[in-house]
Amino acid sequence: MAVPKRKTSRSNTRSRRAQWKAAVPDLVPIKVDGQVQLVPRRLMKHFHTR
């Protein structure tokens, strides 16, 4: 099993973890009960079936 030779510094750890970012979903305006709401594109079908 691989074992690190030295402790990774806090700044190196945090800068490495900062690279992992979630992508912002594409928001689409939809009218729900007469009000315009921003909904992720993948959830559009759910709101149109109502």
- Does any domain span residue 20? no
- Does any domain span residue 9? no
CA distance 33 to 41: 18
pTM of the predicted model, to two decimals?
0.45
- Does any domain span residue 2? no
Categorize the per-residue pLDDT at 48 as very low, low, confident or very high, splitting at 50, 70 and 90.
low
pLDDT in tens, 6-36: 999 999 999 999 999 888 889 989 888 888 8
* Dihedral (CA of 35, 40, 42, 46) sign: negative
Q: Which two tokens stand for residue 12?
A: 């190196």
Q: Higher-confidence residue: 36 or 49? A: 36
pLDDT at 49 (0 to 100): 57
- Residue 39: Cβ within 10 Å count: 18
Do the beta carbons of residue 28 and residue 44 sit within 8 Å?
Answer: yes
- Does any domain span residue 45? yes
- Does any domain span residue 1? no
